[in-house]
């Protein structure tokens, strides 16, 4: 049994009152709250084990190094990577994608080569590739999003050519909530001779992912969207690809030998981890992985599906509300973007905040998708492990208050 009430007790921030009311936190697509187990891991590291890693031979340095590398191993097991060497610590999903763009892209892409993205990409999987358009003269192509909020795979098949070198798509849209068929997309990319990368920022926190089964070449994720601290994330890459890529940053720890006129690089994964890393947050990220595995990703996914179905039924019954993306929970998860007729999303968010309800309003770092939908912005409610049907009911009541306030 998925005991949401018991889970809520692990999150100190949920005891807060906002404007004198119970906090209803529905901004999980932006960042998740942190359980006491993760907070404790962070405090314990700084209180008992703080030291720099890999360089020292004293007790604290050895403890810190062991804890840091254990966290890497937990992540590798979490996504079924072949080896921890395939896990590169970075600040966030954005940096992970940039690492691939700057290291792999600059070395292996040439003028007129093609990279395929989708129209529903987060800016972090669009803007870095645009840099290479200007720098190298590559071409970007985009898989269209249908009126239902799905990727048009028929058009995608036609976009693939001999010049396609990389296909990089989001697993779950942070606007539409759509769960994209990454196995099929990757299979088609590989058949065309291209590599395949997944932006798993929204999917990894809420559904099981096996990189061996999916057979993706790269996968990017952020710790803060899966109960971990901000400022820590990772890039998964197949070992043979990472071995062929040059370092992303230069400095300490990413080198094996240094001379005045040249340097020799360290092995994986350290070749891509220059300088003192975010040690404490990596350790706390490991604690977040432990927490999620204890709950079970399949259980989390099912919990969100039920909440999504419950919320969609209520939202779609309101004539003033328009929901974007699939209208059933079958092809989506707990990220729901919507608008209310004649009320700007920012106004809706402010009214809901006065009711203790936290949602997101704006472009959600997906401006091209909003332009396609001809929308100035949207409201977004996103659920996670500690949310309940009562939270959805509070959201609906808050929307009704907004409608009444604006008399529409």
pLDDT in tens, 16-27: 999 999 999 999
> How far apart are the C-alpha atoms of 46 and 263, rounded to whole Å?
33
In the residue annotation, 365 being an active-site residue is answered as yes
Closest alpha carbon to 9 in 386, 305, 311: 386
* Active-site residue, selected from the candidate residues 93, 216, 365, 379: 365
Taking 70 as the threshold, does the pLDDT of residue 261 lie above it? Answer: yes
Predicted TM-score of the model (pTM): 0.97
Which residues on neighbouring strands pair with residue 265, listed in sequence order? 255
> How far apart are the C-alpha atoms of 183 and 219, rounded to whole Å?
13
pLDDT in tens, 229-256: 999 999 999 999 999 999 989 999 999 9
Every domain of the chain and the residues it spans: 4-30+297-406, 39-294
What's 146's DSSP letter? P
Taking 80 as the threshold, does the pLDDT of residue 204 lie above it? Answer: yes
- Domain spanning 39-294, CATH class: alpha beta
- Count of CA atoms in the C-beta half-sphere (13 A) of 82: 12
- Percent of the chain, pLDDT > 90? 98
Closest alpha carbon to 266 in 282, 254, 250: 254
Which residues on neighbouring strands pair with residue 170, listed in sequence order? 199
- Which token pair is 388? 């309940």
What's 164's DSSP letter? E
> How far apart are the C-alpha atoms of 230 and 95, rounded to whole Å?
13
pLDDT in the model for residue 56: 86
Q: Does domain 4-30+297-406 have CATH number 3.40.50.1820?
A: no
Label residue 1 by pLDDT band (50, 70, 90): low
* Helices 297-316 and 389-406: angle between axes, nearest 10 degrees: 30
pLDDT in the model for residue 370: 97
> How far apart are the C-alpha atoms of 109 and 101, rounded to whole Å?
10
Cα three-residue angle 54-56-59, rounded to 5 degrees: 110
* Three-class secondary structure of residue 60 per DSSP: helix
> How far apart are the C-alpha atoms of 121 and 215, rounded to whole Å?
21
pLDDT in tens, 80-118: 999 999 999 999 999 999 999 999 999 999 999 999 999
């Amino acid at each position: 049994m998925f005991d949401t009430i018991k889970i809520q007790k692990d999150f100190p921030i949920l005891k807060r009152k906002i404007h004198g009311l119970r906090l209803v936190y529905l901004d999980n697509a932006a960042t998740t709250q942190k359980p006491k187990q993760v907070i404790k891991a962070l405090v314990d590291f700084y209180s008992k084990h703080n030291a720099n890693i890999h360089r020292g031979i004293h007790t604290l340095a050895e403890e810190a190094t062991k804890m840091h590398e254990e966290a890497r191993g937990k992540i590798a097991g979490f996504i079924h990577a072949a080896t921890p060497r395939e896990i590169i610590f970075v600040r966030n999903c954005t940096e992970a994608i940039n690492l691939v763009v700057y290291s792999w892209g600059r070395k292996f892409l040439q003028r007129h080569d093609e990279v395929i993205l989708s129209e529903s990409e987060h800016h972090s999987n669009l803007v870095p590739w645009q840099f290479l358009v200007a720098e190298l003269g590559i071409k970007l192509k985009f898989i269209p999003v249908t009126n239902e909020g799905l990727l048009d795979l028929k058009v995608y098949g036609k976009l693939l050519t001999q010049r396609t070198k990389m296909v990089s798509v989001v697993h779950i849209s942070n606007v539409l909530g759509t769960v994209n068929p990454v196995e099929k997309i990757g299979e088609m990319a590989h058949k065309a001779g291209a590599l395949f990368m997944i932006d798993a920022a929204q999917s990894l926190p809420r559904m099981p992912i096996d990189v061996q089964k999916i057979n993706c070449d790269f996968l990017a994720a952020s710790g803060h969207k899966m109960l971990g601290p901000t400022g820590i994330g990772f890039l998964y890459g197949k070992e043979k690809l990472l071995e062929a890529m040059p370092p992303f940053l230069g400095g300490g720890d990413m080198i094996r030998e240094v001379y005045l006129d040249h340097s020799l690089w360290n092995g994986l994964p350290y070749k891509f981890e220059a300088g003192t890393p975010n040690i404490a947050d990596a350790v706390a990220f490991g604690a977040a992985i432990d927490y999620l595995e204890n709950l079970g990703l399949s259980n989390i996914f099912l919990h969100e599906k039920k909440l999504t179905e419950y919320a969609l039924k209520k939202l779609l019954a309101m004539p003033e509300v328009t929901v974007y993306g699939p209208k059933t929970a079958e092809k989506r998860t707990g990220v729901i973007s919507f608008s209310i007729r004649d009320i700007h999303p920012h106004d809706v968010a402010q009214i809901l905040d006065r009711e203790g309800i936290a949602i997101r309003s704006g472009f959600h770092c997906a401006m091209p998708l909003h332009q396609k939908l001809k929308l100035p912005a949207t409201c977004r409610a996103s659920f996670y492990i500690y949310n309940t049907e009562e939270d959805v009911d509070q959201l609906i009541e808050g929307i009704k208050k907004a409608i009444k306030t604006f008399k529409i």
